[in-house]
Structure 1
Amino acid sequence: MKFLLVEDNQELANAVSTRIRLDGHVVDHAVNLADATSFLDVGEYDLILLDIMLPDGDGRDFLSRHRARGVDTPVIILTARSQVSDRIGSLDLGADDYVTKPFDHAELEARCRAVLRRKSGSAKTAVEMGGIVFNPVAGHLSIRGQVITLRNRELRLLELFLGAPGRVFSKQKLADRLFSYDDDVSENAIEVYVGRLRKHLEASDVKITTLRGLGYRLDHGG
């Protein structure tokens, strides 16, 4: 998963970003609304963690514009405001959840998982396809009953492909989803990760097809 964290408190942002990365996800950090807008103009995110009081404006205005553009990326509000009216107002604007500072990081992680499950339309986390059973939350993959150990980016790559079988992903799109904006990534790195994942999937009916000049596509026979 790829997260966008919009938070001007550097200490809190560092703590949240560290926890997200330890879970194997990718995170971009914006310190203000202008940076957040720039990130969204060029990138695609699975979840936005949004502070309200930011140096260049109110996060709720950003949220309202975000929804008015028809973008349905889940948003969790992070704020010190705890009044019921604030929570209701944010939810009415299109927020998916609301976490009051200070918060326990384990609670934030649980809320992120819950919002992402709701976004997928189901509380079911495991994906079954072509002899594969994959749980992206637990980072668990088994192929025909045999447990396979994957590295973090291999897990996230598989999650992307299984989330959209038949969709063609360019190398640039995969790099955008697997790495943060500040990472220096070559096309060769993407080829390496795809190659490793292909080897893991050899015992299944799932394969990653290369489309020259276009990218990669997940195909399955059952």
Structure 2
Amino acid sequence: MSPDLPLRIAGEEVSTGDWIEVRSPWSAERIGRVAKAGPAEIETAIAAAAAGFEETRALPAHRRAEVLRKLRDRIEDRRAEFVETIIGEAGKPRRFAEAEVERGLTTVRLASEEATRFEGEVVPVDIEPRGEGAFCAVRRFPVGPITAITPFNFPLNLALHKVAPALAAGNPVILKPSPRTPITADLLARAVESSGWPKRAFSLVHADPDVARPL
């Protein structure tokens, strides 16, 4: 059984005294429990993400790619733990859990490569005489904090489908996983935290839908 797991807000562990129990869909055995956020914790995560955007928007492409390469290494290092956690809380057969982790590693690898491949456009504007010798440049910028709300059926890979591209583009992330599979998300959050991503720019929260609405 997993220990009680706190929220992870901007690199800090936050306990609230309110809990979500996680049970095996096969046996109904309690696997663990995670802290449940209230309105104050949600607002703290949002404020941290907004502040963290000042850091992430300034990260050069090579740094973002490096973070994602480290994230892939962290997941690889704990591959067996991810597999067992997915089996336990999602009820997946082992071969499907192993395939999900493998696919998740691929997702992060692809994101690390894309972090250095963002392209813009150069558009000539000489359709009129006054535009001779001039051009317009189109450049892409990170949009800002995002919320990744993820389902239970692929608790690692579908989280990574949101988290990895967001990091590649320089966006802070607040991850809110399914209450049925939050322990996999906790493992992922710890991996992100140990990969060099700015602390304020990643949070993991568990909350009821009405409380999470501001996200």
Q: Which has the larger radius of gyration?
A: 2
TM-score by length of 2: 0.25
The structure in which a higher percent of residues are helix is: 2
TM-score by length of 1: 0.25
Which one has more relative contact order, counting CA pairs under 8 Å at least 6 apart? Answer: 2
The structure in which a higher percent of residues are strand is: 1
